[in-house]
Structure 1
Amino acid sequence: MTTTELTPNSSTPSASASTPAPVTDVPAVVDETARLLTEHYVFPDVAEQLAALLRRRLAEGAYDVESAEELGGLVTADLQSVNGDLHLYLKYHPEQVPQGQGEAAEAAMRRDFDASLGGVPRVQLLEGGTALLELAPFLFPLPWSAEPLSAALTLVARADALILDLRGNRGGDPDTVAFVCSYLLDERTHLNTMYARVGDRYDQSWSLPHVPGARFGSTKPVHVLTGPRTFSAAEELAYDLQQLGRATVVGESTRGGAHPREGWTVHPNLEAAIPVGRSINPVSETNWEGTGVLPDVPCPAPDALDRALALIRG
């Protein structure tokens, strides 16, 4: 299960200059998206409403377009019109994506992994023994990211204070959230519970009893920087630490997506992203869906680093 956010219908600069991929069988794409909704969306009643909406809009001719990119935008607007779920969309990929569940998201994420040094683009020692650790653009799947994250977190373990910059992080893997939290906690701790519609089950997420390398630990100050781009699994990381009283969140409210999604390829260039669960925090007994993670110290996101440093200095 992944909470990855890939901004709907965005494209790379090179792709934006090319001709958008055509879509020749719009009814098949819409019908398959509606079917997946009714089978998998975490809120079955909303799924029925949305499936009916898509089919009605199809019959009205609202989707009479020739490009897959335009279709993705139109369908996404309708999918998000009922309850504003930002994890629910029909994403256009400029490059063709593999068939199957989750393949499109994985293919897109692999292109970002190496370019961001495994999701750790910045590790820096700042004034007064404070370490800055930027995690972006995603919290990549743990099998990929454990090595770079362990190296970075072990390095900052020697610092007197830690600033965790999530302002540019758009989501990722819940297992990676637990992995990062494990370096900031001394005891095994319940972080989150995920309700999954399929199987009607509740899966708990806990910090790890052992980690590779050295822990930063639970006693030194941690500040988490957030902004309007912080989304999904990055929000969970900020929220988990905030609700545990382990970190002070500094910056702006986050985007507000607490429903983990899966993706299905419904066209060579289109991926239907459908939330299949919802997060339940063990402390608040709710989540950040719709509201975002509210900062403890509000300030404009570009000023959050300076504000956090001022708080650490006292």
Structure 2
Amino acid sequence: MTTHEAILDAALDRITAGYVFPDRTAAIEATIRGRQAEGAYEGLEERELCERVTADLQSACPDKHLRLLWSEEPQPMDEEPEEVARERFERYARENNYGVRRVEQLDGNIGYLDLRMIAPAEPGGPAFAAAMQLLAPTDALIVDLRQCSGGAPEGVQLWCSYFFAGDEVHLNDIYERKTGVTRQYWTLGHLAAPRYLDRRVVVLTSGFTFSGGEELAYNLKALKRATLVGETTRGGAHPTARVPVAPHVMVTVPTARSINPVTGTNWEGVGVVPEVEVPAEDALETALNLLR
């Protein structure tokens, strides 16, 4: 068996065993096997193989989280324990200031929060609270998610909690295939900084905004707590496991899915559509004009 064959076999096994929509796995495998039989993957370097297979996976099933990823550094072949993965993500979040890139008071007493990722709630909580404390005196707020690459559901829950009173707002549900359990996410009753209530909020989006950043935008839009300005987001709504299938290759398998309690669906494959559609580079100025 060639290396490419072993990678494809292992990736398809993982997708069949774990993908959140098991009824779609047969069509996914048929597509990849058909392309393999055509010789579509012959002679490719591993990085190129990942790109080609990812395109074919998403052609068979338009799920942005369903991918083969190539890593320049070799990865351990043992599946990463959950606690190790959590520690790695928390370290990454800490190195990126828990996603809080910029907090500013703009002219007209408009607050500005630039979020590049959604950190886990426990380690990120103090940074979230520090940002919201600084923004508390402003008359309106712009949350910039144009460069937000995603993050943790509990982090989204904590950020959303700052924009609603009390703990009685149902934000999102996540269904997990492995356990069959649906976990509900509601606003939190206790926060470490003042809530941002009774003032206008505008969220900026782009075609780059993804995953947890999309959930934050989607929740606030569905609950009519914010106006979205910018571009339709990338469209990735499924929490995902990363599993090594070769020293330099991982398959990412969506193992759960979001279910918004207001819409009954999510943004997978379609993205979050803003109320005010403008090019991403014009979104901030457009938002400022809305708020002035």
> Fold match, TM over 0.5?
yes
Percent of residue pairs bearing the same amino acid type: 44
Partner Cα separation in structure 1 for residue 124 and residue 254 of structure 2:
23
Secondary structure at the aligned position of 2:100 is classed as coil
- Describe the shift of the 1:160–1:229 C-alpha distance in structure 2 as closer, same or farther (beyond 3 A): same
Partner Cα separation in structure 1 for residue 96 and residue 176 of structure 2:
31
- Describe the shift of the 1:111–1:96 C-alpha distance in structure 2 as closer, same or farther (beyond 3 A): farther
Does residue 39 (structure 1) correspond to residue 39 (structure 2)? The answer is: no
- Give 1:255 shift: 1.1
Residue number in structure 2 paired with 1:161: 140
- Describe the shift of the 1:287–1:140 C-alpha distance in structure 2 as closer, same or farther (beyond 3 A): same
Residue number in structure 1 paired with 2:100: 120
Find 2:281's aligned residue among 291, 294, 302. 302
Structure 1: 5+ residue runs without aligned partners? 1-23
Given that residues 239 and 257 in structure 2 are in contact (C-alpha distance below 8 angstroms), is that contact kept between their aligned partners in structure 1?
yes
Residue number in structure 1 paired with 2:125: 146
Residue number in structure 2 paired with 1:80: 58
Residue number in structure 1 paired with 2:179: 199
Find 2:208's aligned residue among 208, 229, 234. 229
Residue number in structure 2 paired with 1:54: 32
Given that residues 90 and 123 in structure 2 are in contact (C-alpha distance below 8 angstroms), is that contact kept between their aligned partners in structure 1?
no
Does residue 214 (structure 1) correspond to residue 194 (structure 2)? The answer is: yes
Given that residues 102 and 262 in structure 1 are in contact (C-alpha distance below 8 angstroms), is that contact kept between their aligned partners in structure 2?
no
Structure 2: 5+ residue runs without aligned partners? none
Deviation sequence 1:125-170 (CA, Å, 0-9, x none): 101111100000x212333322222211222122211110000011
Does residue 64 (structure 1) correspond to residue 42 (structure 2)? The answer is: yes
Given that residues 181 and 237 in structure 1 are in contact (C-alpha distance below 8 angstroms), is that contact kept between their aligned partners in structure 2?
yes
- Describe the shift of the 1:84–1:102 C-alpha distance in structure 2 as closer, same or farther (beyond 3 A): farther
- Give 1:66 shift: 5.6
RMSD (Å) for aligned C-alpha atoms: 2.2
Partner Cα separation in structure 2 for residue 268 and residue 148 of structure 1:
35
- Describe the shift of the 1:143–1:155 C-alpha distance in structure 2 as closer, same or farther (beyond 3 A): same
- Give 1:186 shift: 1.0
Q: Which 4+ stretches in 1 moved above 6 angstroms?
A: 102-108
Partner Cα separation in structure 2 for residue 102 and residue 122 of structure 1:
33
- Give 1:298 shift: 1.4
Residue number in structure 1 paired with 2:246: 267
- Give 1:287 shift: 1.3
Partner Cα separation in structure 2 for residue 115 and residue 96 of structure 1:
22
Residue number in structure 1 paired with 2:8: 30
Deviation sequence 1:71-100 (CA, Å, 0-9, x none): 211211111111221110001111223442
Find 2:263's aligned residue among 277, 280, 284. 284
- Give 1:112 shift: 5.1
- Describe the shift of the 1:262–1:102 C-alpha distance in structure 2 as closer, same or farther (beyond 3 A): farther
Given that residues 222 and 263 in structure 2 are in contact (C-alpha distance below 8 angstroms), is that contact kept between their aligned partners in structure 1?
yes
Residue number in structure 1 paired with 2:161: 182
Give the counterpart letter for 1:302 in structure 2.
E
Secondary structure at the aligned position of 1:225 is classed as strand
- Give 1:285 shift: 1.2
Given that residues 171 and 235 in structure 1 are in contact (C-alpha distance below 8 angstroms), is that contact kept between their aligned partners in structure 2?
yes
Find 2:232's aligned residue among 248, 253, 259. 253
Residue number in structure 1 paired with 2:219: 240
* Equivalenced residues, count: 288
Partner Cα separation in structure 2 for residue 77 and residue 106 of structure 1:
28
Partner Cα separation in structure 1 for residue 103 and residue 43 of structure 2:
46
Partner Cα separation in structure 1 for residue 10 and residue 199 of structure 2:
50
- Describe the shift of the 1:115–1:202 C-alpha distance in structure 2 as closer, same or farther (beyond 3 A): closer
**TM-score for both structures, normalised by structure 1:** 0.85
Deviation sequence 1:97-132 (CA, Å, 0-9, x none): 344247897698567535532211111110111110
Deviation sequence 1:241-299 (CA, Å, 0-9, x none): 01111111111111111122111111122111111122111111111122211111111
